[in-house]
A = this chain, B = another copy of it.
Amino acid sequence: MVAYGGKRKISESTIRRLSIYYRVLSILEKENYETVSSKELARREKLTPAQVRKDLSFFGSFGTRGLGYPVSELKDRIAQILGLNKIWNVALIGVGNIGSALVGYKEFQRQNFNIKVIFDNDQRKIGSNHKGIKVSDIKNLESDLKANNIEIVIVAVPATVAQYIVDDVVKAGIKGILNFAPVNLKVPGDVFLRNENMSMELEYLSFALRNFMNPSEMDEKGIS
């Protein structure tokens, strides 16, 4: 749980759902909807209307009974809460298998995460161009992070070297790190670290397929 505004607490799952509401609201805005009910938001995301109302109530009163939520206003408010109303300067370390894919990942750009610098230690890659960004030598990590005002670093290096790399990133003063290496990393108490593991969602599917015949059965028993 995260205290918000010193009063209420926000769970990690709520933050995830905010990301999802933001996406749905962006789609609704494109479809020219002016308002949306908690019922409709819930239906699109397979949540309950009560859950939606509870989540959104964290951030002040929005909905008008009978009218629903104003789409653009709610979207902007959530963007503000998630910190998506500014451009974040991001660096990527490692242009291997996953790293190369991330450089071209359009969702980052769309959500205002701007990959400005790429680092690698492979001499064959240094100086090469990835989607318009020249690969820098990892030796220049600290100075290049500073020169580009980097705020968030994505680490996509082999598990065996990830801790060394992250230590250097921390030393350079970075407070937000997204790690793709399948390893538990240690960071000091003043650094936010998140781990991305793409097999987690597959594990959700294997859990579901193993335990249930079909999703509606889960629904009946009360999936949230």
Q: Which residues of A are in contact with B by a Cβ distance under 8 Å?
A: 1-4, 9, 11-13, 15-16, 18-19, 22-24, 27, 44, 81-84, 88, 90, 97-98, 100-102, 104-108, 110-111, 113, 151-152, 154, 175-178, 182, 184, 189-192, 194-216, 218-219, 221-224
Please determine whether B152 and A206 come into contact, CB atoms closer than 8 angstroms. Answer: yes
What 17 new A-B contacts, CB under 8 Å, besides A2-B218, A16-B204?
A1-B222, A2-B212, A9-B222, A18-B203, A19-B197, A44-B184, A83-B206, A97-B100, A105-B199, A111-B203, A175-B209, A176-B208, A176-B209, A178-B201, A189-B214, A194-B201, A194-B204
Please determine whether A182 and B107 come into contact, CB atoms closer than 8 angstroms. Answer: yes
Please determine whether A205 and B192 come into contact, CB atoms closer than 8 angstroms. Answer: yes
Residue of B nearest to A44 (CB): B184
Complex Cα distance, B29 from A98, in Å, reads 27
Please determine whether A97 and B105 come into contact, CB atoms closer than 8 angstroms. Answer: yes
Contacts of A200 on B, CB cut-off 8 Å? 16, 19
Please determine whether A198 and B105 come into contact, CB atoms closer than 8 angstroms. Answer: yes
> In the complex, how many angstroms separate the beta carbon of A204 from the nearest chain B beta carbon?
6
Give the contacting residue for A101; candidates B18, B101, B113; CB below 8 A: B101
Complex Cα distance, B1 from A223, in Å, reads 4
Residue of B nearest to A212 (CB): B2
Contacts of A16 on B, CB cut-off 8 Å? 200, 204
**Chain A to chain B: the 6 pairs with minimum beta-carbon distance, closest first:** A3-B221, A83-B210, A83-B206, A101-B101, A190-B214, A176-B205
Contacts of A184 on B, CB cut-off 8 Å? 23-24, 27, 44
